[in-house]
Structure 1
Amino acid sequence: MRDAAINLRALPEQRDLIDHAAQLLGKNRSDFMLEAACDRAQAVLLDQVFFSLDAEKFRAFNAALDASAAPNAGLARLLAVTPPWAPTTSAA
């Protein structure tokens, strides 16, 4: 059961366009708008985690992932710092 409300304002022309498209699909305005919004939201989220490469760029990408990392002095210093949550050794 749907119980979360989503309210928005639209121009009459936008509402009419949405209503016409919804009618063609045999849906009501709310179902049509919710489906369209969810489809777009999923596309936006997938754009953040999925990318496509042609074969040549894919080989180059894999080669970069497989290559050894270059020395990084800043990272070495960071990893050498004792975190504040680490147990301390006290001299007794």
Structure 2
Amino acid sequence: MQETIKRQAPINLRALPAQRALIDRASQICGKSRTDFVLEAACREAENILLDQRLFFLDEQTFNAFEESLLAPVKDNPALRKLLASPSPWE
């Protein structure tokens, strides 16, 4: 049985009727509620924006941990070694 998670943080939006109709049509096609559809789309876009960051502000402790992980020896990864040894599709 699937466990239901109770959402506790409200997000209120104002939309044009055409925007709401568009969202409703798309959410129906996906078989999702309007809330689920909007939350998934907003979270996906938020993740993309965060993943595209090029400038990070870190406190000294977090930066040291980050730098330590960058300087740590690389673990052997046979799958990666095989991938890097294979020719590129354009070669």
TM-score category (smaller protein): 0.5 to 0.7
How many percent of aligned residue pairs carry the same amino acid? Answer: 63
Gapped regions of structure 2 (runs ≥ 5)? 1-5, 55-91
Looking at structure 2, the residues matched to 33 and 22 of structure 1 have their Cα atoms a distance apart, in angstroms, of 8
Q: CA RMSD in A?
A: 0.7
Structure 2 equivalent of residue 29 of structure 1? 34
Looking at structure 2, the residues matched to 42 and 26 of structure 1 have their Cα atoms a distance apart, in angstroms, of 23
Structure 1 equivalent of residue 48 of structure 2? 43
Secondary structure at the aligned position of 1:48 is classed as coil
* 1:33 Cα offset (Å): 0.1
How does the TM-score come out when normalised to structure 2? 0.53
How many residue pairs end up in the alignment?
Answer: 49
Give the partner amino acid of 1:3.
Q
Structure 2 equivalent of residue 6 of structure 1? 11
Structure 1 residue ranges (4+ consecutive) displaced by more than 6 angstroms after TM superposition: none
Looking at structure 2, the residues matched to 29 and 16 of structure 1 have their Cα atoms a distance apart, in angstroms, of 10
